[in-house]
Homo-oligomer: A and B are copies of this chain.
Amino acid sequence: MSKAKVTITDVAKASGVSNSAVSYALNGKPGVSQETREKVLKVADQLGWRPNKAAKSLSDARTNSVGLVLTYDPAVLSVEAFGMELITGLTARLEEAGYSLLIRSSRNMRAELDILDDWIASGAVDGVFLQNVELGDPRIELMSHHLEMPTVVMGDESLAGGLISLSTNERDGVRVIAEYCADQGHRRIARVAGPENLGHTFIRDNAFMEVAARLGLQYTCLHADYTPEGGRKCTERLLSLPNAPTAIIYDNDVMALTGAQVAAVRGLNVPQDLSVISWDDSFLCEVNALGITALGHNIIERGRTAAGLLLDLIDGKPVESVWEPQEKLVVRASSGPLA
């Protein structure tokens, strides 16, 4: 049924040469005659030899895998397409380089730090991705003290503490949305933002305040947690204000959708009475009785890019942080001129 594992020694015996000759032959390195090489290759193939991963890793101090810690938050994780798209992009690029993605799950920041510590000390991975960076994120500090572990921060350069990062131009996104609102005649806009501790929330907060001031818009912001419930509550609150906003921007698709629903329930007509705009575009925004205007993002591509950066870092190539090109606003039925 199952052939016993075939080692390099088996191949050596079977082809009547030494252990090292086999190693040279199989790795395409010089030090072995063409004739021997071919014979070894043939035998290895016949025997179905594959390098043992543990042995190889031990020998050359490389695992050919990189790590990603997922935060176990079923309420949010499962609801957003983001995570899966990211993993898809990461693994697609990693696969090209023969790398695997090693995933572990944490319940909180403390647990995630433990995992990173473990990876650093145990050599379980050749590099790590950092996601959902917070203000003063302890992971940044940790990895800064361990530059021997290649790290790519998937978040704004200003939060990366000098580590290599892949940033999206949040400020541009904010500007595009705010100017669009202003163009459509809105004077009072609001935002249902993500968690306040997240770095990109902070950056958007600042950018929105700045651009609102510049454009003379009245701007209100509430922070929620990306969940349907959070979006619902914040929208209720905003729409109950004496001077309710005429356009609301949501930091993710899920909240935008629930927001639009709340508006409908309150008898508001979207977009005549209220424009709804989502920061993240997705299937949710697209396929919906009412299409939701949203800022486009190509998460899969972002994943590919991040993986490429990490691979280069691991290979010791010179790497610089990347700023992603500005995304475009996809205008759909949920937004328009003020009636």
Contacts and interface: CB of A to CB of B under 8 A. Distances in A.
Contacts of A92: 72, 105
B103 A1 contact: no
Interface string A4-43: 0110000000000000000000000000000000000000
A102 interface: yes
A132 interface: no
Contacts of A106: 95
A82 to B, nearest CB: 8
A49 interface: yes
B48 A52 contact: no
A339 interface: no
Contact of A91 (B63, B103, B117, B146): B103
B2 A287 contact: no
A288 to B, nearest CB: 7
A108 to B, nearest CB: 12
A87 B100 contact: no
Interface stretch (A190-198, A257-265, A312-320): A257-265
Each complex incorporates copies of this chain amounting to 2
A103 B103 CA distance: 7
A254 interface: yes
Contact of A58 (B58, B101, B257): B58
A122 B53 contact: yes
A51 to B, nearest CB: 6
B228 A254 contact: no
A314 to B, nearest CB: 15
Interface string A90-121: 01101100001111111000000000011001
Given A54-B54, A94-B104, A100-B103, 4 more contacts: A50-B117, A53-B57, A54-B123, A78-B88
